[in-house]
Structure 1
């Protein structure tokens, strides 16, 4: 039962974040926030590109929110783990962005505008939309650039790695359920959790492809942690 609960908890976190959130989303950090950072804020370089402490703070906040961790009151080992994970994540983001840029891959303008329209639709008025952007140090143009970059990464990974082509068989789902059920009593009925288990296995397979891709990029990259 414990393993099954862990599976479901991890799944919820994965869905909340999006399967590629730590590898792609947020790959374009707040430009204005980064522009005011001083040289002393550089924590690493990836193929000469600087990673700033402000970049890591954004990722740590995302990680902490998903894990339900209060950074302010967290134990030292938890903070260290968040810092390490955030740095590894940011390095992966930069490597992927560099790879996509070098490939010349760009998102179709139509897709970018559709995504912008989706974001706008979350606000009642244009004024509320621009106010929300301003609060994050963004403008419509800078958001458009960020959306274009994020979409390019997403589409590149889908096309190059076949992320969306990954499949999960019924046998894999039943095997995972059987392994969990063998370790505990009173597990939920298979029919009640099969969709969650399938989604979790799918996310794990997709993440595995992404991890392998990033590791290959890291093997050929010049990375300096300062």
Structure 2
């Protein structure tokens, strides 16, 4: 899946679901492309080719160009956009403080249900908070630049809330702990130990490969819909408090999860979620204006390409 496609997939739940999943998609795609290229160069520095077909060598350059063709144009465009955003922010004297970044990161952690859940999702992709934050900062700068001359009234927010009320209502949540394993055999072994009375938290510490949660007995905290792997989400939201899944095959491996608690969906008032409404309203305006704004920056920039990534 290309960077662009990953961002589009994440964007499906963008505005009122988990609006930060698209950043995660970008970070993952950039990491995959760069890691593969680094592996090629440093595991066989003296070798010209990566394979042969009937004696004809497939060179490193050919292979890297293929990787770039799959992920490169979107990834390179993303990096160029970030450079332009930083340059524009510097020109306009706009910055984001450490406090603003941490506040936004706190919001993001909450949008994933909890700190544990957020770290768990990052860990499953081999990512860190720092890598995520690096992609978030230019987005925050762009938001400030786009919004700097725009006034927001309570009337605007109330109308926006009324139009999108169901999106702000609290969705059903589950408090989970889980055990993630590489193989079906390991998962079946873990399931058997649980059936024989082994403590779930102890087993998670001993066997789970999710490094973000294993030391805490597999606890992921509160998780809303749209965060978990779809296969696991479907099962856990059908369970009652205290119930446990059987082995579930997910995109990360094999998982066993236990529902520690549940919160029912709840309708909210404007005053309860006014801050969230304002954030979503700003995000909506930024989303509507971002493409034209960044294209404007590109149109007057001196951009030189030294590679030719394909679409």
- The structure number with the bigger radius of gyration is 2
Same fold by TM (over 0.5)? Answer: no
- How does the TM-score come out when normalised to structure 2? 0.33
Greater share of helix: 1
Greater share of strand: 2
- How does the TM-score come out when normalised to structure 1? 0.43
